[in-house]
Amino acid sequence: MSYSILPKKHWKKHDYLLYSYDILGNMLRQADSKSLSTVKFNLKEDEVESFENAEDIFEWLDNNGYHKIALSQFTSHVFFSLLKDFCYYIYESISCSERGKVTVAYSLLRKPLRDNLLYLEWLLANNEEFYQKIMYQDIDEYDVSNRKVFTNERVKKIIKLASSKSYMGESLNTNNLIYKFRFESKEEMSLQKIWNRSMHIVTRSNNYRTERNNLNFIFANLDDWNKFWDYYYTVLPQLMAYVLEICEAIFLSILEVDEFNILLNRMIRLAKYSDVSEFIETSMFKNNPSNILEILDEQNASITFECELCNEVIELNKDILNQFIYNWFVTCTSCHGKHNICRYYTNFDVKEK
Ligand SMILES: [Zn+2]
């Protein structure tokens, strides 16, 4: 894609940010189209009346032997709600950055990356604990901005545990990178430091004290601005790659997806990430997708999907796979219409040849 205000050196990363945003947005669309936010279950006949009269449905479920149902209902409802809110903020932030409104772009990252993401991580790390706190304890116990309860150590632990339950989250959080970006104000270029400066004209805290005779960001020169703009594209692609891992893990706990679809999603998104990554060794990701074709060949199988425009079947061959990896669109072999590929795939068909 091309952009009018954004410097060209950021275009590739900007495209990656939009791509990852689109995948999350697609999970939300699937939540609607497949009604994933609500869990269906059968009540016994003599339970119907008391269920319908219950003041709190979750409490009723807990007290009547349906705790598992309550927990999965809670997990999917909270996941999609947090994710929707996350997406609203992130999209506006990315859009502000594209238009050069850098301080606003940073400010808009604070809530989704510090709060929403931490709740998502908690949901993945230990949804039972999250549920118990929110249902039966004081809000102080589940307010993640309450740093007396959510101490640095506890936050670090939640991030570690959540990332270990995802596919690539641990690698993306190497050396606590994901934690440091969001919560470590002593780090030279932590987001925390930038957030405080972008939200307040003067800051007095030792870690980000406004310089004498200065006001935060107001007197910044062009060099400073560009440094902050560059940093946005250093840190956010890494964080969004991580968010995809966390959200995939929760999404897959809600919706059953077969292994080939999961594998394909992972291979494609890691190949795309390898193009923008600055922090971890990614050379192995670029070639991985062609392994899929080898595996298929060995099993004498093929993957197909339906063209949304002409309903003809498109087979995943080398050419189509390359389009998945290097482009943002795939061209239908029958009608030559273009498919947006920025989504979480669940509907590829694996068949014997
Ligand atoms: Zn077509």
For 279-288, the pLDDT digits (tens) are 777 776 766 6
Q: How confident is the model over 23-48, as a mean pLDDT?
A: 94
Same domain, residue pair 156 and 305: no
Residue 235 lies in a domain: yes
Same domain, residue pair 117 and 240: yes
CA 330–ligand 1 middle distance (angstroms): 10
CA 307–ligand 1 middle distance (angstroms): 5
Predicted local confidence at residue 172, as pLDDT: 93
CA 232–ligand 1 middle distance (angstroms): 38
CA 87–ligand 1 middle distance (angstroms): 30
Residue 175 lies in a domain: yes
CA 108–ligand 1 middle distance (angstroms): 39
Q: Which of 256, 285, 312 is the last residue of a domain?
A: 256
CA 341–ligand 1 middle distance (angstroms): 14
CA 338–ligand 1 middle distance (angstroms): 8
Residue 313 lies in a domain: yes
Which domain does 267 fall in, by range? Answer: 258-353
Lowest model confidence (mean pLDDT) among 90-94, 136-140, 275-279: 275-279
**Mean pLDDT, rounded, of the chain:** 90
CA 267–ligand 1 middle distance (angstroms): 24
Predicted local confidence at residue 217, as pLDDT: 67
Joined together, the tokens standing for residue 111 give 């809530």
Residue 348 pLDDT level (bands cut at 50, 70, 90): confident
Same domain, residue pair 287 and 206: no
Which residue has better confidence, 25 or 218?
25
CA 83–ligand 1 middle distance (angstroms): 32
Q: Which of 256, 288, 315 is the last residue of a domain?
A: 256
Lowest model confidence (mean pLDDT) among 86-95, 205-214, 236-245: 205-214
Q: What is the DSSP string of 268-327?
A: HHHHHHHTT-SSS--HHHHHHHHHHHHHHHHTTEEEEEE-TTT--EEE--HHHHHHHHH-
Q: Can you tell me the distance from the alpha carbon of 252 to that of 27, in angstroms, rounded to the nearest whole number?
A: 10
197-214, pLDDT tens digit by residue? Answer: 777 767 777 766 777 777
Residue 139 pLDDT level (bands cut at 50, 70, 90): very high
Residue 136 lies in a domain: yes
Point out which residues pair with 301 in neighbouring strands: 352
Same domain, residue pair 78 and 189: yes
CA 348–ligand 1 middle distance (angstroms): 15
CA 339–ligand 1 middle distance (angstroms): 9
CA 251–ligand 1 middle distance (angstroms): 29
160-194, pLDDT tens digit by residue? Answer: 999 999 999 999 999 999 999 999 877 776 888 78
CA 311–ligand 1 middle distance (angstroms): 6
CA 34–ligand 1 middle distance (angstroms): 24
Same domain, residue pair 169 and 312: no
Same domain, residue pair 55 and 69: yes
Predicted local confidence at residue 60, as pLDDT: 96
Residue 29 pLDDT level (bands cut at 50, 70, 90): very high
State CA 14 to chain mean position distance: 15
Residue 1 lies in a domain: no
Same domain, residue pair 264 and 248: no
Contacts of 148 (CB under 8 A, 6+ apart): none
Same domain, residue pair 345 and 250: no
- Percent of the chain past pLDDT 70, that is, above it, reads 95
Lowest model confidence (mean pLDDT) among 9-18, 78-87, 149-158, 256-265: 256-265
Same domain, residue pair 155 and 280: no
Residue 215 pLDDT level (bands cut at 50, 70, 90): low
- By the 10 Å C-beta count (0-12 exposed, 13-18 middle, 19+ buried), 78 is classed as buried
**Is residue 219 over pLDDT 60?**
no
CA 294–ligand 1 middle distance (angstroms): 26
Number of structural domains in the chain: 2
Which residue has better confidence, 257 or 275?
257
349 contacts 260 by C-beta, under 8 angstroms: no
CA nearest 278: which of 234, 311, 314?
Answer: 234
Residue 154 lies in a domain: yes
CA 239–ligand 1 middle distance (angstroms): 35
Q: How confident is the model over 235-258, as a mean pLDDT?
A: 97
Q: Which of 210, 230, 256 is the last residue of a domain?
A: 256
CA 248–ligand 1 middle distance (angstroms): 28
CA 98–ligand 1 middle distance (angstroms): 32
Predicted local confidence at residue 282, as pLDDT: 74
237 contacts 111 by C-beta, under 8 angstroms: no
**Is residue 126 over pLDDT 70?**
yes
Predicted local confidence at residue 286, as pLDDT: 66
Residue 251 lies in a domain: yes
Predicted local confidence at residue 208, as pLDDT: 66
CA 335–ligand 1 middle distance (angstroms): 4
Same domain, residue pair 88 and 227: yes
CA 269–ligand 1 middle distance (angstroms): 24
- Percent of the chain past pLDDT 90, that is, above it, reads 63
Same domain, residue pair 16 and 120: yes
Residue 58 lies in a domain: yes
CA 306–ligand 1 middle distance (angstroms): 8
Same domain, residue pair 108 and 122: yes
